[in-house]
Amino acid sequence: MENKILGLHHITAIAGDAKRNFNFYSKILGLRFIKKTVNFDDPGTYHFYFGDEVGSAGTILTFFPWGEGIQQGRKGSGMATEIGYSVPKGSLDFWQKRFEQYNVIYNKPAEKFGEKYLTFLDPDGLKLELIESKTDDNRKAWETDEVKADVATKGFHNITLTLNHIKPTAAVLTEIFGYKLIDQDVNRYRYATDAVENAAIVDLVELADEKRGLNANGTVHHVAFRVKNDEILMHFREKVEAYGLSITPQIDRQYFHSLYFREPGGVLFEIATDNPGFTVDESLEELGQNLKLPAQYEPQRAAIEAHLVKIN
């Protein structure tokens, strides 16, 4: 099997109130709530996963909802600053009306790289974009009663990283991950992999004088890139290490296996496997309905459930 990075796997962000986060993404944005678990490093807080029907790599947005009153983050250099979702052509009118209905902060549609897009903020200030991709996106959308397939999100289109200098980060993308520079618009540089058709784009925005971002509420925690299996995961561990960057051992995240390293610009990167997937501990039909705990926290289930706010 060819050793390739297969675009984006998932993106993880920080939120405040858990119920508000759940309601926004599952109801207003219409994503499927595919997993309700806990932060493996802090079992007193949730870890939510949203995606398509099965939780396909390239559609998975996850959150650590740390609760009300947490410090507000600040977008800046050394972090992922915009999450782009692919939506069908002609759907932005629907989304503008929906955002007005639910008092979502948004900007009027604009265009970059020949693609129409709509920028909006979630309740915690996280910046997202809905993008009418100029390339075909045949991924099957998750439908709800209010958000049908002809307007629904298909999964990620791109992630944007803001950096003081893009050259070291670009080198990681091209020399380790196999991405190529495909376009440029002023200080925005678009990199993509040809290994997959969708969730394949990373935009690097260069702002030399931008202050470092503060990673807290309403910001992206890390960006995960996809590989097929454990063998390829460890191949990339060797590549990252040989490049001179510090990288973690393999970590079992229950639904995928992961490595973490901080690229030279300061963004936390993860490399994650397709295996074993989100149906490893509950059926496809039941995804997101039950609190799933890793084995080490099962003995504490009663205390954990009593502490966490109830999510329907």
Q: Is 149 exposed, middle or buried (0-12, 13-18, 19+ CB in 10 A)?
A: exposed
Tell me the average pLDDT across 126-136: 95
- Model confidence at 224: pLDDT above 90: yes
This prediction has a pTM of: 0.96
pLDDT tens-digit profile of 233-280?
999 999 999 999 999 999 999 999 999 999 999 999 999 999 999 999
CB atoms within 10 A of CB 286: 11
Q: Does any domain span residue 164?
A: yes
Tally of domains within the chain: 1
Question: What's the pLDDT score for residue 70?
Answer: 92
Note whether residue 2 is domain-resident. no
| Any domain includes 179 | yes
Q: What is the pLDDT of residues 177-216, one digit of tens each?
A: 999 999 999 999 999 999 999 999 999 999 999 999 999 9
Residues of the domain holding 255: 8-307
Alpha carbon distance 42, 262 (integer Å):
21
pLDDT at res. 42: 87
Residue 305 to residue 288: CA distance in whole angstroms: 15
Q: Which residue in 45, 28, 27 sits closest to 12, CA to CA?
A: 45
Report pLDDT digits (tens) over 32-83: 999 999 998 888 899 999 999 999 999 999 999 998 889 999 999 999 999 9
- CA 292 – CA 34 distance, rounded (Å): 11
Q: What is the pLDDT of residue 68?
A: 83
Q: Is the pLDDT of residue 1 over 60?
A: no
pLDDT higher than 60, residue 312 = yes
Over the chain, what is the mean pLDDT? 96
Buried b (16+ CB within 10 A) or exposed e, 45-82: bbbbbbbbebbbbbbbbbbbbbeeebeebbbbbbbbbb
pLDDT value, residue 67: 86
pLDDT of the residue at 286:
96
Q: For the chain, what is the radius of gyration of the CA atoms? A: 19
Whether residue 122 is contained in a domain is answered as yes
Helix residue ranges per DSSP H, 8-47 = 18-23
Tell whether 312 is covered by a domain: no
Residue 1 belongs to some domain of the structure: no
Q: What is the pLDDT of residue 223?
A: 98
Residue 238 maps to which CATH number? 3.10.180.10
